[in-house]
């Protein structure tokens, strides 16, 4: 078995003298104590590098969370931490339980696929206690422009307007029914 402290200078020496030994007339000189001494600083460097490596491995062991790699290249505990976070969104099915009248208007129009909380914001608190946190009505002249402001990058068949020219700062809901935009406000689609 190799003994690092005893054999390293010998190994280093053999590696270094190999090239010299291959030269014509060259030979592998005897390994003497003087040879060990000549390579001593290299051994010191190797030991110093090994110490740095060990410190790095210790630091690494200390800093890597225990659950890292449990499921993949991330911290396994992160999943439990995320699940423990409070829920902000109620989900459109919850909204529709009480607001079925809005659902009736919405499902006939172009906004059928738009989730309630996409425009009204997260409403989990309101769903838990409808009386406590009444949602504020969104400002349609700001809200609608988020999707419908004209932009060259949007598909041509997507409804879009330059709001400044189209409405002149007027709220969109003055003319459009937000839950089914092709209808006028208050108008109900005939089924």
Footprint on this chain of another protein (rule: CB under 8 A): 12, 16, 19-20, 34-35, 37-42, 44-45, 48, 56, 60, 63-64, 68, 73, 151-153
Smallest separation, CB 73 to another protein (Å): 6
For residue 32, give the nearest of 48, 20, 17, 22 by alpha carbon.
17
Nearer to another protein by Cβ, of 137 and 162: the residue is 162
Residue 68 in 3-state DSSP? strand
Smallest separation, CB 35 to another protein (Å): 7
Nearer to another protein by Cβ, of 58 and 137: the residue is 58
Q: Using an 8 Å Cβ cutoff, are 124 and 90 in contact?
A: yes
Nearer to another protein by Cβ, of 37 and 188: the residue is 37
C-alpha separations of 123 from 59, 76, 83, 87, 138 in Å: 45, 30, 18, 10, 13
Cα separation, 87 vs 125, in Å, equals 9
Nearer to another protein by Cβ, of 43 and 171: the residue is 43
């Amino acid at each position: 078995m190799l003994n690092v402290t005893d054999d390293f200078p010998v190994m280093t020496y053999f590696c270094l003298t190999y090239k010299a030994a291959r030269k014509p007339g060259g030979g592998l000189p005897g390994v003497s104590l003087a040879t060990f001494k000549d390579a001593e600083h290299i051994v010191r460097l190797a030991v110093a590098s090994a110490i740095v490596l060990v410190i790095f491995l210790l630091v690494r062991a200390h800093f890597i969370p225990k659950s890292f790699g449990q499921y993949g290249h991330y911290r396994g505990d992160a999943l439990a931490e995320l699940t423990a976070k409070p829920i902000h969104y109620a989900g459109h099915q919850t909204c529709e339980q009480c607001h079925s009248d809005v659902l009736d208007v919405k499902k006939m129009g172009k906004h059928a696929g738009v989730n309630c909380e996409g425009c009204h914001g997260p409403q989990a608190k309101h769903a838990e206690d409808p009386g406590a946190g009444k949602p504020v009505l969104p400002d349609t002249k700001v809200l609608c422009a988020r999707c419908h402001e004209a932009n060259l990058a949007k598909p041509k068949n997507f409804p879009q307007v330059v709001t400044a020219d189209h409405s002149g700062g007027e709220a969109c809901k003055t003319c459009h029914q937000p839950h089914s935009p092709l209808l006028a406000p208050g108008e109900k689609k005939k089924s």
